[in-house]
């Protein structure tokens, strides 16, 4: 069964297109997983490849994503994908907040924001969340840089900044 990725749950995202990188999605996904393992992220960080679809009643588009979770932050997920786009490779990363039904309903009634009860409650917990997101983000961008180097491209021109990055509190 596919996971539904709802646009309204996305807190921030990052994407790039690797010129003439088609056929290298397995390289990217392997590199990301290797780097996540090497990072030894505390707090029971785990990941798996899942089929993901967009929201909507008639959504037929489905893609495989590497979904990264951290036990400490059950409401947060990071989705990572790499896919061919013509002769290029499209690589993306999404950070989402996806509270359960009860927490989402209560938060919406109390604050009008479905993610309000999922937000870190103090600066030290926020620091842990930020660190996890940053390590995963670097695993993705470093993997893209490795691919660009492998393809003889200059990774210095890679823009590693994301839209809305770490605007989670």
pLDDT score of 70: 95
pTM, rounded to two decimals: 0.90
User: In the structure encoding, which two tokens stand for residue 40, read together?
Assistant: 């030894």
The ranges assigned to domains in the chain are 3-157
List the alpha helices (DSSP H) in 40-122. 101-111
Which has the closest alpha carbon to 41: 135, 120, 139? 135
pLDDT score of 165: 42
Cα 118 from chain centre: 17
pLDDT score of 166: 46
Rounded mean pLDDT for each run of 10 residues along the chain, 169 residues in total: 87 95 98 98 95 81 95 94 98 90 76 74 89 96 97 89 55
pLDDT score of 169: 39
């Amino acid at each position: 069964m596919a996971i539904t990725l709802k646009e309204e749950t996305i807190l921030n995202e990052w994407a790039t297109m690797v010129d003439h990188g088609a056929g290298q999605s397995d390289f990217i996904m392997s590199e990301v997983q290797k780097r996540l393992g090497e990072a030894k992220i505390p707090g029971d960080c785990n990941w798996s490849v899942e089929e993901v679809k967009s929201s909507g009643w008639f959504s037929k588009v489905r893609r495989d994503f590497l979904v990264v979770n951290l036990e400490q932050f059950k409401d947060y997920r990071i989705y990572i994908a790499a896919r061919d786009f013509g002769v290029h490779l499209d690589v993306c990363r999404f950070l989402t907040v996806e509270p359960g039904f009860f927490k989402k309903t209560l938060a919406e009634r109390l604050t009008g924001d479905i993610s309000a009860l999922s937000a870190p409650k103090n600066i030290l917990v926020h620091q842990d969340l930020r660190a996890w997101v940053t390590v995963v983000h670097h695993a993705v961008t470093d993997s893209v840089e490795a691919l660009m180097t492998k393809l003889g491209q200059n990774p210095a021109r890679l823009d590693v900044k994301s839209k809305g990055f770490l605007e989670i509190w």
